[in-house]
Chains A and B, each alone.
Chain A
């Protein structure tokens, strides 16, 4: 019984983390039709920025409880600087090219950011465990969980609610939906599509960076930490359907639960259980769970 509880709790915690990252990936694809291979690197950037800034904050002996705000703040900082830099500096020259070409462009970007991170932060690893240990543990039946994991779950729920309200509840969100449906018609109706793209990419980047910043206290921040994240986030959004926000949520839950079940029951299949699920979903629903198949054009 406690094993099943552990599977569920572990799965939900892992899913929360995945959802924050995958939400950024899927919103960028939904609006801009760019499958951003550099998303994992932006996640790593967020983690590095958080480790440096929150680390400096704690070393300076300032209020440790405020370090949580610093984590989020550093992620937003990464988002609003790096996001526009990439979109204005590079991506806008590639709009209108084939989707696969855009995958290659962002793959090149991934390579560039990976090394830029090494140039800025070096190859040693960074630790900031204070925000993780500060909150202590909570007993769930026979199991003990860090309260910080609960913070992660709450953050994911907050991101989900905020995105849902932002897209369906505000004027700007409605413009976004218009652009998703038809870029050209939106432009003729006077919507500033370029600005929507800029905002979307910045938002997606910020979400990736928040994912990284919230992970930073739980792991050691090392070069290459974004490499595996990107294929996991891909699995999530492909399972749910590219560009679909509920799809990202369900995909994250599926991947999170499958992985934690694999870890608890069949540890030897942990790594590839996720990709088996992804291959299965694609085999049955080629465009993912939440996206209907498209008719072929002549």
Chain B
């Protein structure tokens, strides 16, 4: 069995587990999973960038773009269905990434990180000052249906609409990204990270590879933002603030670049940790997060997922 097929089966099994778990777990846990999947989507985009050797401190830009696009599509254009809203979010963020990518694709290392941070802060500043979009308060987003099923009904399958949408988005993108990583363009990314000049000597365009990965990462962050907007029912400028982007970087570092499932697992771990930390010690949450991040960077440079991989290699 090829490793792609094995990965797809594994992801399918995870999807099935999510479907089976839905009626069994309480509402707050469902919400937690939806948020984790949404953040996992953003981190999956960061994984693509990190494979290219880039760390973006501005994914909040695309996250917020996706969320606001979904919100505007729902409120202004009265597009009710969650599927369309998520698509709108992803497309809007991809479009923004395509334009900014013209500039961003020229930068590397620390300058890429700083410029992406600057762009996200520009959006933050714009959103805070735009009264039509609710300024600092943001606005509410109320999707009516998902897959044509009403979300307002107290019983029936509509209750799980956003959850199912998030799970399907995560599954679909994970399989697609897994496929992409095995393609010609996907394999070029680590080569770009290792040595750009040699990649260009061999006839490939480094800038196009970087630009493409930027757009995909942007689209993924946009979908994640739209899913978050649907789940929370609210969007605000904080989504574009640099600390939001920092949290995505945290998830990506925690997960490492070894597997497309890792960002989702990492995001779930983060959300679980956060819920418990908020419950027991609300003022030490960042302390825990920072210490965990330091520990991972110092002792597990390839992310938590590398523990599994090392064990597997030792067994083989």
Structural contact, A104 and B253, CB atoms closer than 8 A: yes
Q: Which residue of B lies closest to A115 (CB)?
A: B287
CB atoms of B110 and A242 under 8 A apart: yes
In the complex, which of the residues B113, B129, B290 contacts A111, with contact meaning CB atoms closer than 8 Å? B290
A234 at the interface (CB under 8 A from B): yes
Assess whether A119 is in contact with B284, with CB atoms less than 8 Å apart: yes
Residue A90 lies at the interface, judged by CB distance under 8 Å to chain B: yes
Interface of A, secondary structure class, is helix
For B286, give its contact among A93, A111, A123 (CB under 8 Å).
A111
Near B by CB (< 8 A), chain A positions 227-282 give 227, 231, 234-235, 238, 242, 268-273, 275-276, 278-279, 282
Our pick among B57, B109, B125, B293 for the contact of A99 (Cβ within 8 Å) is B109
**B109 neighbours in A (Cβ, 8 Å):** 98-100
Chain B nearest CB from A242 CB (Å) reads: 7
Interface centre among B107, B109, B118, B289 (most CB of A within 10 A): B118
B1 within 8 Å of A (CB atoms) = no
A286 to B115, CA, bound (A): 10
Cβ A282 vs Cβ B107 within 8 A: yes
Most buried by B among A268, A271, A286, A296: A271
Q: With A115-B287, A272-B125 known to touch, is A286 a contact of B107 (CB < 8 Å)?
A: yes
The number of residues on chain B lying at the interface, defined by a beta carbon within 8 Å of a beta carbon of chain A, is 44
Task: Assess whether A105 is in contact with B294, with CB atoms less than 8 Å apart.
Answer: yes
Chain A residues in 8 Å Cβ range of B265: none
A235 touches B118 (CB 8 A): yes
Stretch from B8-16, B81-89, B138-146, B194-202 contacting the other chain: B194-202
Please give 9 more A-B residue pairs, beta carbons under 8 A apart, in addition to A94-B297, A112-B291, A296-B196.
A107-B249, A108-B291, A234-B117, A238-B118, A269-B125, A271-B124, A271-B129, A282-B111, A286-B106
21 A–B contacts from the bound complex (CB under 8 Å) = A35-B114, A94-B298, A100-B55, A107-B249, A109-B290, A111-B287, A111-B290, A111-B293, A112-B287, A116-B287, A118-B283, A123-B283, A231-B242, A234-B117, A235-B118, A238-B114, A238-B118, A268-B129, A271-B124, A272-B125, A275-B121
